[in-house]
Amino acid sequence: MLTLLLPTRKWGPSRAWHGMVWCLNLLLLSAGPALAQTRPPAKKESAAAKPSSAKAAAAAKPAAGNTAVAPDALAANPADPSQTRKIAPNEVFRDEKAVELSDLSKLKTVPARAVTPTEILELKGHAGGVNANIDKELIKRVVDAMAAKLTDRANVQALVDPPEGMNPNSPAFRGIQEATTTLLEPLFLAKSIKNQAFLTVYYRALRDALSPLLKNHLIPRVQAMIILGECGTPDFLPLYQAQIKDPNQTLWVKLWALEGMVNVIQEGSRLAAQDQIAAAKTVADFLDNEVDIPWPVQLRAMEVLSAMRQGFEPNRPQKADMANAAMTLLADAKTKVEVRSEAARALGQMQITSQVPKYNFPLIAHAAGQLAAELGKRIGTGFTSNQDKAKYLTALLIGPVFQAFDGVPGARDSGLVHATAGESGAYIQNVFDLVKPVARATVDLLSSGARQVPERQKDLAARVAALNAFLDQNPPPDRHLVQNGPEYPVALLPGGTAAPLAGPRNAR
């Protein structure tokens, strides 16, 4: 079972240990459907077994003696906070490639001389001292030793198939975590003080030692990719792309390769346009070719497209492959709102020029407006029962969905309202002018006192209704993002079901 908790993209250094735990959870899965942003399905219990409301409690009370239940007694049985405060149920995902790679027979140990705690401290000293003399041999020794630790059979077996009664504090059980932490701490330390001299040497040592592990057992594969992904250096961009393109690579390595591509941009690197295009196209092809991609992986893919800002290849502008990949997810009502929100932001970030003939900006604005209305409705109707989830959904609305229209701070010419003029520009602005009151009303609802809630919910519902009315009355005239491209649903049928596609969804 693989459980992923992704309300935010950055989790801090402990994410590396989480990555390994995810792999372990996956190994415990014997059967199950589809993958990190959420929590385990709640156990279904009857009202008689566990009352979750006053009405259920009253119904569960034995009839013998006709004993009356006082209102105060009913109030003393509040709803289970683990059910009312969770953002979403835990989700289980299964990757057959990962299952195959979890076989210990796939493990290839890497020999290396063990290092002492003093040598590890010296490495951290190099990372944290801008003017420190860099001992390349020391760096290589420590990195090689940790790579060996990641492939140590006792360490891996302690996680995959631990002996019965094994102490969770034993060196073998802690070995993978300690090796990963040892390699990540100098990386984060050097980045925090911009120690580029150390990083240049350290990146090379990590690449040399960890790249071979990407074809090893599942545990060292994922841990190696986490570390390499956290490097986020442009020099590793070919490595990240190679993992995403590899049909034999597990999705969990690909997820962290996508993370690495996002980190390249977030670390402030400036890539040549051709490198950005190549990276974005790699992601678009991955989304088209891979079957049943878990939604957290889709989310990471959309983050890459947001970061790279490339919607088409200059030699094939009429295809707009990257933009179509994002539009496919935005327009799919069955896709997670987290993914659809990031897809909207990605489309708002893409720099589309006149090279792309008849690019359908109104289609994007309409779909993003529908998503805003859906989020607003869910926030309003679910606020009373689960305020934490309402806050979570509001963050999607005032974050990526809003930025799809208004742009991302610091990203020049980003946002749909800045992308075009004329009739398309006027339509986009009209949609955005109706999205803004919905966003404002959700924020007002979250900050309201108990007595204000009903009125704020009514106000939000009215704002959502106004947005939906405009979208229903003013659908885009064409349902293709580009000429001869795939056709997308832009309307919801009664009950919130997406209108069927008129043609092949992934036609290119």
Question: What are 3-14's pLDDT values in tens digits?
Answer: 333 334 443 334
User: Per DSSP, which regions of 81-234 are E strands?
Assistant: none
> What tokens does 411 get?
């990203």
**Which residues fall within 8 angstroms of residue 362, CB to CB, at 6 or more apart?**
424, 427, 428, 476, 477
In the chain, the percentage of residues whose pLDDT exceeds 90 is 69
Cβ 116 vs Cβ 25: under 8 Å: no
Cβ 220 vs Cβ 150: under 8 Å: yes
Three-class SS of residue 39?
A: strand
163 secondary structure, DSSP code: P
**Cα distances (angstroms) measured from residue 101 to each of 30, 106, 295, 398:** 15, 6, 22, 41
Three-class SS of residue 481?
A: coil
Confidence label for 293 from pLDDT (cuts 50, 70 and 90): very high
Secondary element (H or E) of residue 497: strand 497-498
Which ranges constitute the DSSP H helices of 14-53? 15-27
User: Model confidence over 427-484: pLDDT tens digits?
Assistant: 999 999 999 999 999 999 999 999 999 999 999 999 999 999 999 999 998 999 999 8
φ, ψ of residue 339 to 5 degrees: the values are -70, -45
Cβ 54 vs Cβ 75: under 8 Å: yes
* Closest C-alpha among 186, 266, 254 to residue 225: 254
- 0.85 exceeded by pTM: no
CA 192, 197, 198, 199 torsion: positive or negative?
Answer: positive
> Nearest 10 degrees: CA dihedral of 366, 372, 377, 380?
-160
Q: Across all residues in the chain, what is the average pLDDT?
A: 83
Higher pLDDT, 59 or 414: 414
pLDDT of residue 491: 52
> What tokens does 489 get?
């649903």
* Closest C-alpha among 320, 301, 151, 196 to residue 240: 301
Per DSSP, the residues of 205-251 read: HHHHHHGGGGGS-HHHHHHHHHHHHHH--GGGHHHHHHHHH-TTS-H
Confidence label for 291 from pLDDT (cuts 50, 70 and 90): confident
Higher pLDDT, 158 or 61: 158
φ, ψ of residue 360 to 5 degrees: the values are -90, 75
Per DSSP, the residues of 368-413 read: HHHHHHHHHHHHHHHTTT-HHHHHHHHHHIIIIIHHHHH--TTSTT
Cβ 7 vs Cβ 37: under 8 Å: yes
* Closest C-alpha among 216, 148, 211, 215 to residue 182: 148
Q: How many CA atoms within 13 Å lie on the side-chain side of 406?
A: 14
The CA angle 467-470-471, to the nearest 5 degrees, is 85
Average pLDDT over residues 170-194: 95
pLDDT of residue 494: 46
CA 442, 446, 448, 453 torsion: positive or negative?
Answer: positive
Confidence label for 489 from pLDDT (cuts 50, 70 and 90): confident
**Cα distances (angstroms) measured from residue 427 to each of 38, 328, 421:** 35, 21, 9
pLDDT of residue 362: 96
> What tokens does 351 get?
């720099």
pLDDT of residue 85: 59
CA 107 to chain centre: 29
Residue type, 481: L
Q: Most distant CA pair in the chain: distance in Å?
A: 85
* Closest C-alpha among 392, 397, 350 to residue 371: 397
Q: What does the buried/exposed string (b/e) look like for 277-296 if buried means 16 or more CB atoms within 10 Å of the residue's CB? A: bbbbbbbbbbbeebeebbbb
The CA angle 497-500-504, to the nearest 5 degrees, is 140
Three-class SS of residue 316?
A: strand
- Least reliable range by pLDDT among 49-53, 426-430, 501-505: 49-53
CB atoms near residue 40 (< 10 Å) = 12
* Residue 83 pLDDT greater than 70, yes or no: no
User: Model confidence over 203-235: pLDDT tens digits?
Assistant: 999 999 999 999 999 999 999 999 999 999 999
